[in-house]
Structure 1
């Protein structure tokens, strides 16, 4: 009996480096993909076809959905765009002073948050005539951020990690220094809102918790990953991407080694490692039902200009127990 394929490649991928893959929060068929080729593309992954393409004036660094009919994007042109996914039209929302590095949609408040290299986070009400609600200065360039249950975690240059309650952005809930000694690449919140994982350019991941009590803080940890011995030398790769499985709470990591791992954060163990992708893993996203994992295989230039495999997006079907944590003892 012929085995069903566990993953497939999307047709018509971006023509330059992929910066983000993002599934719709309500529809597992819909995937947004942003790229250095100045586009955001909407794919129907079930039909394996491109539904829409939105053009920017410069490279697009991130994208997100609010729901199945609307998305948002930003990048080197400093603009924040609203994407109508049903009519394939886009509307400028506003500007930052420097490139827009990351976007997050809050399901709780129905608001958009954008982080920029201009050292600000901006809050937008996309339904308002004047959408910009607030501008909040930060100590350094914003590299990555994520929001869950009104908690926003922001990772910046200089190893700053700030935590906010988005209902009151004028005050910082917590100001932390990253547990990782090198530059943060990605930060993602746990689906249950208890904490977050962050990754660095130096092959490490930290698992942290919001609750400042000593008992909870004693549970945080960091570990080495995405390393391999080549010709007797321990080679370390940046961990570019993290994604939590929304059903099981385990998480996947993707590195410049082209490897995707799935981690059981309770038992501090790797659940599985998928076969190596053609080049660096630039971004990862689980579908809202946890059954699909989008993998952006796209060279991230950690070794400068060199020949590399074409940019691709793979969609992997996740088996029922593939991301399920082992029984937690106690």
Structure 2
């Protein structure tokens, strides 16, 4: 089990201001030289995969002293997403040209530069924006979502052709899977909900409860619903079944009061939402360079953390929930011109200690 600094947790505190002083930063010489698009911890090992616009996937080994580069996967075009298989032996990544790459780490040697185990050149006609692995019938399946408005399913053990597909109403912007729940968020605020026991059908389509463009969706740990983040500094908690609609709500986050105007707030995009694997609490992170931990059942913010010096583009908890990784890099929220060479690129590991991510005492976990 990976622990950062391995020491005892400090005593609990009632303060809602979090501490980032013990966060461990990955050395600059082991980082991408362009924006980090996605990251994910292995579900079985202390490995962290990071995809970048520089066409590479960085796989780090996480230990008590931080993270050390283990493998470096070279791809062909800017990468938009990365994901692990359920058994932690393989990763997949998608690029802006619609390619799907996969790497079997059992064939990758002990470390260093590696080439993909396989590439599907035209998995999608446009950028492959999001992917996840899931299991059905004892098989590992990859589901991919693209700007070409299609979701496709792949069983790479038998074929390089998709085994199924779904037509979405618009371009896929974000996607997540938990157990047999697949949630697909597209342009124009459509959200498709799929029961993976029937992957060829859309179970339900809703319009996002948020008024502006969807940036991210993330499934609850118990697969009963999902969180939605938008460009307007709002997050929504949404349950799948109609019987639970009374539990749905939304809240403001990632906003800063304008010091020169009392009634004016600066609004920032919610770029990433990650659920804690044990507690069911969750994080939000945004263009304002802050991250926060929340208890959805108590409708309560657990901790808010100070700005980290740049937009946070991707986040994730490790399998034990005691490490929270976050990537700082340009998120394209201000267009091409704002992506200057001076913009920081960082990958940091936050040790989750004490009661930072534990549900509020007395709250009922739904």
TM-score range, shorter chain: over 0.9
1:1-330 equivalences in 2 (<5 Å): 6-11=22-27, 12-27=30-45, 29-46=46-63, 48-66=67-85, 67-86=87-106, 87=108, 88-90=114-116, 91-93=118-120, 95-108=123-136, 110-213=140-243, 216-230=244-258, 231-232=260-261, 233-304=264-335, 305-306=337-338, 307=340, 308-329=342-363
Q: TM-score of the superposition, structure 2-length normalised?
A: 0.85
Tell me by how many angstroms 1:219 deviates: 0.7
Tell me by how many angstroms 1:169 deviates: 2.4
Distance in 2 between the 1:293 and 1:248 partners?
14
Tell me by how many angstroms 1:285 deviates: 0.4
239-248 vs 41-50, which moves further = 41-50
Structure 2 residue runs of 5 or longer lacking an equivalent are 8-20, 109-113
Distance in 2 between the 1:34 and 1:241 partners?
15
2:13 alignment counterpart: none
Q: CA RMSD in A?
A: 1.8
Name the SS for the 2:242 alignment partner. Answer: coil
Distance in 1 between the 2:60 and 2:233 partners?
31
Q: 1:152 to 1:246 in 2, by over 3 A?
A: same
Tell me by how many angstroms 1:24 deviates: 0.2
Structure 1 residue runs of 5 or longer lacking an equivalent are none
Tell me by how many angstroms 1:279 deviates: 0.1
Name the SS for the 1:217 alignment partner. Answer: helix
Tell me by how many angstroms 1:131 deviates: 4.7
Name the SS for the 1:208 alignment partner. Answer: strand
**Are the counterparts in 1 of residues 74 and 115 from structure 2 also a CA contact under 8 Å?**
no
Which structure has the higher relative contact order (CA within 8 Å, separation 6+)?
2
Tell me by how many angstroms 1:68 deviates: 2.5
Tell me by how many angstroms 1:329 deviates: 4.6
**Are the counterparts in 2 of residues 98 and 118 from structure 1 also a CA contact under 8 Å?**
yes
Which structure features the higher share of strand residues? Answer: 1
Distance in 1 between the 2:6 and 2:89 partners?
35
Q: TM-score of the superposition, structure 1-length normalised?
A: 0.94
Tell me by how many angstroms 1:129 deviates: 3.3
Deviations 1:82-127 (A, max 9, x none): 1123413311145211110000111455210000000000001121
